[in-house]
Structure formats: C-alpha cells, structure tokens
Amino acid sequence: MNKVILYCRPGFEKECAAEITDKAAQYEVYGFVRVKDHSGYVIFECYQHEDADRLMKELPFHSLIFARQMFVCGELLRDLPPEDRITPIVGMLTGVIDRAGELRAEVPDTNESKELMRFCRKFTVPLRAALREQNILLAQENPGRPVVHVLFIAPGCCYVGYSYSNNNSRFYMGIPRLKFPADAPSRSTLKLEEAFHVFIPADEWDERLASGMYAVDLGACPGGWTWQLVQRSMMVYAVDNGPMAPSLMDTGQVMHHKADGFRFEPPRNNVYWLVCDMVEKPAKVASRMADWLVNGWCREAIFNLKLPMKKRYEEVMQNLALLRDRLEEQGINAEYHAKHLYHDREEVTVHVRRMWSSVPGRRDER
C-alpha cells in the first residue's frame, strides 16, 4: 500500500494537499497528491512503496491542521460485485494487517454521501464478521490495536487500509459527535467544546479545565464559549461591546466588560485560560495572543484564526510562525496545536500552552 488518504472538510482539499506535501517532505517522504475539489478527501501517493506506512508511524497526526483523519491504503477497489463486496476487501487486507482492533466503514463528509452512509452502517456487520474469521480483526474491539478503514466514495467503490490507533483521530470519520446543549446561547459553543476534546487529553481535564479557574473570553457575545467555561465552574471575564445572554449573567460567574478585546488586559494575575473568537485579521489576533502569552497573562490559550479565501494554508503557517517566534525570542517554551475543527468553517482553531520561561523574573509555570 503506497497511498495515504486524508479526510478534510469539503472545499479545503487544496489546503490539505499543500500541508501533506510540505510535512511529508520534512520526513523525506516524496510523492504527489490527487485532489478533487469538494470531495472531502485527498490522496497522497508516495513514490516509495514503504513510505506510506512510515509516514503513518512518524508524522504525528496531531501536527496536521487540515486533516481530520489519515490512513494508509491501496488502489481504489471499483465495481465491487453487489452479490459479494466482501471478498475483494478481505483480499486487499490479507497479509497487510492482522489482529486489528476496530473496523470503520466510512464515507467522505459530503451531502452526496448521506445515502452511502446508511449502506455503510448495514455493511459493517457482515464485513466485520468476515474480517474476524480471517483474523484480520480481533474478536473483541481493542483501542490499542490498528484500525481498519473502508472509505466508500461511491456505491461499489472504496479505498481500504489501516491507521495506527496511537496516531490517528479516535473519532469515526474524524468527527467528534457533540450534541448542541439546549441552554447554550450560540451554536459556536460546540467549537470550544470540540477544541477541548481535540487538544486536551481526557485524563487532564480535571486539572486543566478545573473548577474555580479564572478565564478571559475576548469577543464573547452572546456567550457560547463563555457557557463552556461556566459549565466547567470557572469564573469568566467576558469582553465584548455586544450583549451577553442574561441566563449566563444570572450564574454569577460572568463579569461582562464592554471593551475592546485588543486593548483589554487581565484584571488579576491568576487567569489560567484565554479564549478568543474575535472576527479580525489573523495576524492581528495572533499578535495579541502572543502579547498575552509572552506577558504570562494566561497559561493556556485557545483562539480562532479566521482565514481569507486564498492561500489559507500559507496564512495559518505564517501566523503560527509569528507566534512561535515571539515566544521563543522571550525564552518561552510552549506546546502548539492548530486544527481545522469539524465545527470550524472559514477558520482554524489554535491552542497554545505555556510550559516555562527561561527569562529570570518572568512568571514561570514550571
């Protein structure tokens, strides 16, 4: 199998393609990409056969911004006979992978794929049984073993392959299924919730999203992001000239500041979280986030970079570089993540966690 398939939001195939080409080259893996606009996936075909598996092991999935999932696959299986679609799929996996821990029969995230999704749900049952019979799949699901992926792109037409469970998205189709909370003031609440799921390991939530922490929300109205912080029992400074949802103000956990988010400074010195959803030029937002992190005004930040229509990959990379340079100049070590989340549209979400500063006298969170 010499291909890596990556899922993305339809319309972002070019960004996903530019990114995999760029990042694979950093591992000295070279190949070419096949892109079909609005298909919801991209195929990177490696020149060297064994490179696809190497990329799957070495290129950290969490470092990819525009990919929702990645797996190694072989040639497209076409015209699967309706009376036996299973045999060619089992044949493709035989000798390639054994004792996998899970099967995911998936489709690209497009409107046209909705019908196929229904087919996949039904097809999973007999396919799973056949894979188990051949020992390609373990009898019991095992989250520590590789995942078998079958991606149907049209009826009777699929890519078949595998991903490693320590270097993939743990979500079916790479999409966390989140339910909109009925009492949240805006749908964008799901962006911040998804960011927590993607950026913060579940076993660290109690420590890093802890009750009683102080948070600042820049561009907070009507309060979808603030709602998430309030749910975690935090105290929130919500900064925006617009109105906050009265139900949030009634909690007693929100202080509303009608102020410019680019000038607002922390009212106390133990703010842990900074979140920011202001609609502004990405460079301006990244620069303000750098101010907060350099000054030690917060420990962790989650913010959106709204993207222009052209050169979106380059724009994100430039702004991340700007941020990293500002922090490194000041001797500040940090973890960085950026992801085009399922709930993001023309934007990406960035997470930065300040680790420690080597500059004497600067607030040090070692």
Active site residues: 306
Give least dist CB 189 to ligand SAM, A.
6
From the list 114-122, 229-237, 274-282, 287-295, the region that binds ligand SAM by CB under 6 A is 274-282
Q: Is residue 278 at the binding interface for ligand SAM, with CB under 6 A as the rule?
A: yes
Task: Report which DSSP code applies to 168.
Answer: S
Q: Is residue 186 at the binding interface for ligand SAM, with CB under 6 A as the rule?
A: yes
Q: Residue 106 or 240: which CB sits closer to ligand SAM? A: 240
How far, in Å, CA of 93 to CA of 139, rounded?
17
Which of 12, 225, 292, 342 binds ligand SAM (CB under 6 A)? It is: 225
User: What sign does the CA torsion over 48, 53, 58, 64 have?
Assistant: positive
Q: Is residue 221 at the binding interface for ligand SAM, with CB under 6 A as the rule?
A: yes
Q: Binding site membership: which residues? A: 188, 221-224, 240, 260, 277
The secondary structure of 108-152 as a DSSP string is -SSGGGHHHHHHHHHHHHHHHHHHHHTTSB-SS--TTS-EEEEEE
Query: What is the token pair recorded at 29?
Result: 């893996």
Q: Is residue 282 at the binding interface for ligand SAM, with CB under 6 A as the rule?
A: no
Give least dist CB 95 to ligand SAM, A.
50
Pairing relationship of beta strands 235-239 and 214-218 according to DSSP bridges: parallel
Phi and psi at 22, nearest 5°, equal -65, -50
Place of tokens 């060619």: 88
Which of 69, 163, 188, 357 binds ligand SAM (CB under 6 A)? It is: 188
Q: Is residue 102 at the binding interface for ligand SAM, with CB under 6 A as the rule?
A: no
Give least dist CB 276 to ligand SAM, A.
9
Q: Is residue 215 at the binding interface for ligand SAM, with CB under 6 A as the rule?
A: no
**Per-residue CA distances from 186 to 28, 42, 116, 225, 278 (Å):** 44, 32, 31, 8, 15
Q: Binding site membership for S-adenosyl-L-methionine: which residues? A: 188, 221-224, 240, 260, 277
Place of tokens 């054994």: 98
Give least dist CB 146 to ligand SAM, A.
37
Q: Is residue 161 at the binding interface for ligand SAM, with CB under 6 A as the rule?
A: no
How far, in Å, CA of 25 to CA of 230, rounded?
43
The contact set with ligand SAM (CB under 6 A) reads 185-186, 188-189, 219-225, 239-242, 260-262, 277-280
